[in-house]
Amino acid sequence: MAISFYINILLRILNKIYNNLNNRGLISSPPKPAGFVTINLESSIIPKKVIYSHLIPNKISTFNKNKVISIPTPLDSAKLTLPEIGTYKFQYWLKGYDINNLHVLDSNYLNWYKVRKALLDFEANKVSQQLPESFNSCREALFQVVGYLEFKYPDAYISIYINNELHIVNKINGEVYSLNSQRPLDVLALLTMDDFSILQIRPDGEYYLTASATLFPIGWALNERIGYSIRDLHNSAPKWRKGDYAYDNTRGLFDKIKGPHVFHRNNYFIVNTSKLFLPENIIKIPLAGDIGNLPGFRYEDIYVRRELQTAIRLIESNSILFTVRTFIAPMTSLTDTQLLNLHELYLSIKKENREYHNVHKLEPVIRKYITEVRKLK
Using only C-alpha atoms, what is the Rg of the chain? 23
The whole-number pLDDT of residue 125 equals 95
45 or 11, greater pLDDT: 11
Overall average pLDDT of the 41-47 stretch = 32
Position 141 pLDDT exceeds 70:
yes
Any idea which of 71-80, 113-122, 249-258, 305-314 has the lowest mean pLDDT? 71-80
Tell me the whole-structure pTM to 2 decimals. Answer: 0.78
pLDDT band per the 50, 70, 90 thresholds, residue 222:
very high
Query: Does residue 56 lie within any of the structural domains?
Result: no
Render 292-352 in DSSP notation, one character per residue: TTSTT-SGGG-EEEEEEEEEEE-TTT-PEEEEEEEEEEEGGGS-HHHHHHHHHHHHTS-GG
The domain tally of the chain equals 1
Q: β-strand 157-162 against 64-65: which pairing, if any?
A: unpaired
Residue 194 located in a structural domain: yes
What mean pLDDT is predicted for residues 260-268?
A: 85
Contact 177, 52 (CB under 8 A): no
| Chain mean pLDDT for the chain | 77
Evaluate whether 92 touches 265 at the Cβ level (below 8 Å). yes
Q: Is residue 3 part of a domain?
A: no
pLDDT tens-digit readout, 320-335? 999 999 988 888 888 8
Residue 286 lies in a domain: yes
Q: What number is the average pLDDT over the span 292-313?
A: 84
Reported as type and span, the H/E element at residue 116 is: helix 109-122
- Tell whether 263 is covered by a domain: yes
Q: Which domain does 366 fall in, by range?
A: 31-46+70-373
Q: What pLDDT score does 316 carry?
A: 92
Inside any domain, residue 292: yes
Of all residues in the chain, what percent carry a pLDDT higher than 70? 69
In a domain, 8, yes or no: no
Residues in the chain: 377
**Span 328-356, pLDDT tens digits:** 888 888 888 888 888 888 888 888 778 87
